[in-house]
């Protein structure tokens, strides 16, 4: 943690509830991310993952606390933080080129049209959409739309990328291909990435660190799982890695039971010192039998 | 299949038209009993009285008169005898002027209402009260304040075109998808650029729908307004021909009013197709 590139400092989000009370989605969240790191947040629906991402993006303001990016407290959205939305949210009246160029010309306002096109083309090529520049989003498949979303986010060369379940609406095959692409691009560009998912395998494949969030309201970041798998990993091979099931079982175990019970069972939890765990590397291994049963009941 | 459907629909349309013309021709052809009258007096009377011919013209009379109008649409023999082309041009010019003024006022105000919940609530009571007022009810007030009948007609067109456009613009602007606005926000797009590059294209289909409703209403109202203010215009022409007891001309005017209205509507429908985006 020598260099805290991005830091959530005690953020909270509360909404007024009927009857003058307030509902606390989460409070006192602390998280630091390093430059070039891929962080995944995993947790059940309603735990406030998307709210955390929106706060990071600047689209939503925390009720308490601040977010520091590169030593500056953020104030609203910024071109430094590109968002890949869950729904691709492309502008349907613009072509693929138009959508990417819109982002490019928003970042570099003095650029000539030719410069904007060159930059946009570079990233359209990067996500493998060469030849589809003049298509409108309605003519593209779900996976291609999400590729445009990725190209748009990358084209402004942000300091960090924020992804809100970017592949959840895609079929398994397309999802796999896009995961490969994102991993390749992030490794090539050294992009700092914050991603929300509830796909455990996706998190293990992509992330360097996986943040486990308990159920809301009153969600906390319970643990940070440091991914023990080697940096060079293949999507089709990772399940053969000796540590793969230790990580996977640890996360699923958390999602199935501990996400509910964690807060009540850990009264002395210090949100500023979230424990970092490396399943399979340190600590006793989990009981494999119990996890297998839970796996079956989860439908994974 | 689609082609044959179009063909069959056209066939049925022609059939209906032919049946209508035939029924019209048959019902106006007949003569009724003729009163006995003094020949001197009969000379003063038209064929309706002397030969029992129906006062309602048949399709052939109307067609013949229409051909005359179309051959010489722009003649001008003084205040009460101008070609239908001139009369229609006056009406279209009034509608265009009033309508364009309404566009210039309604779309910016609609934007304001759509973007600001405060202004939306603040202006709502005024719009609710002003919207249902028949545009012709403004006429005396317009005549008194403007003191010019032609400008008053333009004002009436302005006021009746205003509301559908304003309400549709406000609705279109207010219902621009949040995700598109968020895209603009994360790209740090300024307010003005956002209005033109995100909100305007997103709301354009709704805005043009409002404009289409407005042009329809404006064309409906101009006829009535010109009947009141007189002088020129197709509405005045209808009333003048009624005073001349020329039902043939009245029917011709009705036909032309319908055709021009259709053209205006189709122009806006085309504009609507231009700005619609598939999702």
Per-residue pLDDT reduced to its tens digit, A43-88: 888 788 889 999 999 999 999 999 998 888 988 899 989 999 888 8
Confidence band for B32, pLDDT divided at 50, 70 and 90: low
Q: Is the pLDDT of residue B267 over 90?
A: yes
Model pLDDT, residue B117: 92
Suggest the residue from B187, B189, B191, B273 to mutate for an interface test with chain A (most A CBs closer than 10 A): B187
Answer yes or no: do B188 and A85 touch at CB < 8 A: no
Q: Are B91 and B233 in contact (CB under 8 A)?
A: yes
Answer yes or no: do A59 and B188 touch at CB < 8 A: no
> Which value does ipTM take for this structure?
0.82
pLDDT digits (tens, 9 = 90+) for A200-239: 989 999 999 999 988 877 888 888 998 888 888 888 888 8
Model pLDDT, residue B95: 96
The B residues from 202 to 261 touching A (CB cutoff 8 Å) are 202
Confidence band for A1, pLDDT divided at 50, 70 and 90: very low
Confidence band for B223, pLDDT divided at 50, 70 and 90: very high
Rounded Cα distance between B191 and B54, Å, is: 67
Residue of A nearest to B177 (CA): A89
Q: Mean of the pLDDT values across residues A292-296?
A: 44
Rounded Cα distance between A143 and A152, Å, is: 14
Distance in Å, alpha carbon of B149 to nearest chain A alpha carbon:
44
> Which positions in chain A touch B186 (Cβ < 8 Å)?
57-59, 77-79, 81-83
Q: Is the pLDDT of residue A114 over 70?
A: yes
Distance in Å, alpha carbon of B7 to nearest chain A alpha carbon:
31
> Which positions in chain B touch A76 (Cβ < 8 Å)?
185
Q: Are A86 and A149 in contact (CB under 8 A)?
A: no
Model pLDDT, residue A278: 83
Q: Is the pLDDT of residue A287 over 50?
A: no
> Which positions in chain A touch B182 (Cβ < 8 Å)?
59, 77, 83, 85, 89
Answer yes or no: do B182 and A102 touch at CB < 8 A: no
Q: Mean of the pLDDT values across residues B217-227?
A: 94
pLDDT digits (tens, 9 = 90+) for B109-139: 999 999 999 999 999 999 999 999 999 999 9
Secondary structure of chain A in the HEC alphabet? CCCCCEEEEEEEEEEECCCCCEEEEEEEEEEEECCCCEEEEECCCCCCHHHHHHHHHCCCCCCEEEEEECCEECCCCCCCEEEECCCCCCCCCCCHHHHHHHHHHHHCCCCCHHHHHHHHHHHHHHCCCCCCCCCCHHHCCHHHHHHHHHHHHHHCCCCEEEEECCCCCCCHHHHHHHHHHHHHHHHHHCCEEEEEECCHHHHHHHCCEEEEECCCCCECEEEEEECCCCCCCCCCCHHHCCCHHHHHHHHHHHHHHHHHHHHHHCCCCCCCCCCEECCCCCCCCCCHHHHHHHHHHHCC
Q: Mean of the pLDDT values across residues B19-42?
A: 81
Model pLDDT, residue B145: 94
Answer yes or no: do B277 and A138 touch at CB < 8 A: yes
Residue of B nearest to A135 (CA): B278
pTM, to two decimals: 0.83
How much is the mean pLDDT over chain A? 85
Q: Are B234 and B243 in contact (CB under 8 A)?
A: no
Confidence band for B29, pLDDT divided at 50, 70 and 90: confident
Closest partner residue to A85 (CB to CB) among B179, B189, B198 is: B179
Q: How many CB pairs under 8 A join A and B?
A: 55
Model pLDDT, residue A286: 47
Q: Is the pLDDT of residue B16 over 80?
A: yes
Residues 6+ apart with CB under 8 A from B114: B120, B169, B170, B171, B172, B173, B174, B199, B203
Rounded Cα distance between B59 and B69, Å, is: 15
> Which positions in chain A touch B202 (Cβ < 8 Å)?
91, 93
User: With an 8 Å Cβ cutoff, is A82 touching chain B?
Assistant: yes
Answer yes or no: do A138 and B279 touch at CB < 8 A: yes
> Which positions in chain A touch B177 (Cβ < 8 Å)?
89
Model pLDDT, residue B34: 66
Lowest mean pLDDT among A106-120, A173-187, B7-21, B190-204: A173-187
Model pLDDT, residue A300: 42
User: With an 8 Å Cβ cutoff, is B273 touching chain A?
Assistant: no
Q: Is the pLDDT of residue A94 over 90?
A: yes
Confidence band for A289, pLDDT divided at 50, 70 and 90: very low
Confidence band for B40, pLDDT divided at 50, 70 and 90: confident
User: With an 8 Å Cβ cutoff, is A98 touching chain B?
Assistant: no
Model pLDDT, residue A299: 43
Answer yes or no: do A85 and B185 touch at CB < 8 A: no
């Amino acid at each position: 943690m020598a260099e805290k590139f991005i830091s959530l400092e005690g953020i909270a989000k509360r909404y007024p509830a009927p009857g003058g009370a307030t509902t606390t989605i989460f409070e006192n969240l602390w998280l630091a991310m390093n430059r070039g790191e891929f962080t995944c947040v995993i947790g059940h629906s309603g735990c406030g993952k998307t709210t955390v991402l929106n706060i990071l993006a600047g689209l939503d303001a925390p009720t308490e606390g601040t977010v520091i990016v590169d030593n500056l407290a953020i104030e609203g959205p910024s071109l430094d933080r590109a968002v890949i939305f869950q729904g691709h949210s492309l502008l349907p009246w613009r072509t693929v080129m138009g959508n990417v160029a819109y982002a490019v010309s928003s970042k570099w306002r003095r650029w000539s049209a030719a410069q904007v096109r060159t930059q946009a083309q570079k990233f359209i090529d990067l996500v493998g959409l060469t030849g589809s520049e003049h298509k409108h989003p309605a003519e593209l498949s779900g996976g291609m739309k999400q590729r445009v979303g990725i190209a748009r986010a990358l084209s402004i060369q942000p300091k960090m990328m924020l992804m809100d379940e970017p592949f959840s609406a895609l079929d398994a095959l397309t999802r796999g291909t896009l995961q490969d692409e994102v991993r390749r691009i992030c490794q090539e560009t050294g992009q700092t990435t914050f991603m929300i998912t509830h796909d455990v395998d996706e998190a293990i494949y992509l992330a360097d660190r996986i943040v486990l969030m308990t159920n809301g309201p009153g969600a906390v970041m319970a643990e940070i799982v440091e991914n023990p798998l080697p940096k060079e990993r293949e999507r089709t091979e990772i399940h053969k890695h000796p540590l793969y099931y230790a990580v996977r079982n640890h996360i699923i175990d958390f999602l199935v039971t501990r996400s509910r019970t964690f807060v009540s069972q850990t009264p002395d939890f210090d949100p500023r010192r979230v424990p970092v765990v490396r399943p399979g590397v340190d600590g006793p291994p989990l009981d494999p039998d119990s996890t297998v049963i839970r796996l079956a009941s989860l439908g994974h | 299949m689609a082609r044959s459907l179009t063909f069959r629909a056209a066939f049925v349309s022609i059939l209906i038209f032919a049946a209508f013309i035939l029924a019209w021709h048959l019902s106006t052809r007949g003569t009724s009993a003729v009163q006995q009258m003094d020949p001197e007096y009969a000379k003063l009377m038209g064929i309706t009285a002397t030969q029992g011919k129906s006062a309602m013209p048949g399709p052939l009379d109307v067609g013949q008169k229409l051909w005359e109008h179309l051959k010489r649409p722009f003649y001008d023999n003084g205040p009460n005898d101008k070609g239908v082309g001139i009369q229609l041009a006056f009406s279209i010019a009034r509608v265009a002027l009033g309508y364009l003024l309404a566009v210039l006022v309604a779309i910016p105000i609609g934007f304001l209402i759509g973007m600001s919940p405060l202004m939306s609530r603040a202006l709502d009571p005024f719009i609710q009260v002003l919207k249902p007022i028949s545009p012709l009810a403004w006429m005396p007030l317009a005549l008194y304040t403007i003191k010019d009948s032609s400008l008053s007609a333009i004002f009436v067109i302005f006021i009746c075109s205003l509301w559908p456009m304003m309400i549709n613009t406000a609705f279109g602007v207010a219902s621009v998808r949040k995700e598109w606005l968020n895209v603009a926000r994360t790209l740090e797009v300024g307010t003005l650029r956002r209005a033109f590059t995100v909100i305007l294209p997103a709301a354009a289909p709704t805005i043009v729908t409002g404009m289409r409703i407005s042009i329809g209403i404006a064309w409906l109202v101009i006829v009535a307004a010109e009947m009141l203010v007189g002088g020129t215009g197709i509405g005045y022409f209808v009333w003048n021909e009624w005073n001349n007891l020329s039902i043939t001309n009245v029917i011709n005017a009705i036909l032309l009013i319908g055709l021009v209205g259709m053209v205006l509507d189709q122009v806006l429908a085309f504009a609507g197709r231009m700005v619609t985006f598939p999702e």
